[in-house]
Structure 1
Amino acid sequence: MHKAFVVAINTKTDSHQIPSQSWVVLQSERQRSTMGVYTFTNEIHSPVSASRIFNAITLDPDTIVKKIVPSGIKNIDVIQGNGGPGTIKLINFLEGKPFKYVKHRVDALDKEKMTYAYTVFEGDALIGRIESISHEFKISSRPDGGSTGIQVSTYRTKPGAENKEEEITSGESKDSCVFKAVEDYLLAHPDA
């Protein structure tokens, strides 16, 4: 079953122009299969160039994310690999946060095509009922110098686990907020 819904809108648009300091999720779609797999697809337009967004989200996320969410992330450690496919990162959250840590594995990284994929496979953010969360990003340039990002997230639940869709969708909205925070940081720091 497909349902289209808008995750967030924080802009005024006129025709195809999106002013600076704006962020629009133009399309968001969710699908739930009977096998305990939830898939979310978000298309986001940004005034920030594709290369800057891609680099911030994929090549330098440890530095950028700690700057934009200083009250949430304690540290991000590479425990295996060099940043490319197969790399495993441990993200520790500050005390008092709902979760202590997550581990994620980089599944794919293509700098030329500006695609990136990773899977969260361990940690209390999986709430004991989710086996893994896979994210795939594709960033492309727009004629006005901005970018379009497409994110597909797949939540695979554990067999027999009772899942509350609102818990799963809350994780998806947090991902959209991180994208917005990265965009805001890049707009405020043109040399970053």
Structure 2
Amino acid sequence: MGVITYTDEYTSSIPPSRLFKAVVIDAPNLIPKAFPSIEIIQGDGGVGSIRQINFAEGLMSLMKRIIHTSTLYTYIEGDALADKLESIAYEVQFEPTPEGGSKNKMTSKYYTKADVVLSEEEIKDGKDNAVEIYKIVEAYLLQNPDVYA
């Protein structure tokens, strides 16, 4: 198994505490509003739990993730893994910006199966899907300014 690591940053007009609550802490409650459905497969929804997220048509159909800490989680099943990946681990950080928004850093580790080599395009697609999830949540928060305020 190989490991490919990359770090990506993006900015948001949403303050870090609000975005963190939406994406990490309260995802089981918010994501069903922004996505078709989310189920807790194992656990109580907190650290150590496994969640399955079912997406709207187009992005991907589902994913299951294990929550290790409030800022570290691993996808263990779903379309994003296809037949090339064992898992994808994400570590996220949310920092305030002077404008009142947030600068968000995401470190991703792709754990490939056997001797699989991922192309730059496949890595870019994975990164784009992860950022798209944040953008969907961000759009929901912009449309609902009192949520997590």
Question: Is the Cα–Cα contact under 8 Å of residues 59 and 129 in structure 2 kept in the other structure?
Answer: no
Aligned-residue offset at 1:187:
1.6
Secondary structure in 1 matching 2:67: strand
Please say if 1:107 is aligned against 2:107.
Answer: no
Secondary structure in 1 matching 2:131: helix
Identity over aligned residues, as a percent? Answer: 39
2-side partners of 1:124 and 1:185: how far apart?
Answer: 24
Aligned-residue offset at 1:100:
4.4
Structure 2 regions of 5+ residues with no counterpart? none
Question: Is the Cα–Cα contact under 8 Å of residues 95 and 104 in structure 2 kept in the other structure?
Answer: yes
Aligned-residue offset at 1:39:
1.6
Equivalent residue runs for 1:41-190 within 5 Å: 41-69=7-35, 73=36, 75-93=37-55, 99-109=60-70, 116-190=71-145
2-side partners of 1:97 and 1:173: how far apart?
Answer: 13
Aligned position for 1:4: none
Could you report, residue by residue, the CA deviation over 1:6-63 in whole angstroms, capped at 9, with x for unpaired residues? xxxxxxxxxxxxxxxxxxxxxxxxxxxxx73222211222221111101110122234
Equivalent residue runs for 1:7-46 within 5 Å: 36-46=2-12
Q: 172-181 or 35-44: which moved more?
A: 35-44
Structure 1 regions of 5+ residues with no counterpart? 1-34, 110-115
Question: Is the Cα–Cα contact under 8 Å of residues 31 and 38 in structure 2 kept in the other structure?
Answer: no
Q: CA RMSD in A?
A: 2.2
1-side partners of 2:54 and 2:142: how far apart?
Answer: 27
Q: CA separation of 1:84/1:98 partners in 2, compared to 1, >3 Å: closer, same or farther?
A: closer
> Would you say how many aligned residue pairs link Structure 1 and Structure 2?
147
Q: CA separation of 1:82/1:93 partners in 2, compared to 1, >3 Å: closer, same or farther?
A: same
Aligned-residue offset at 1:125:
2.8
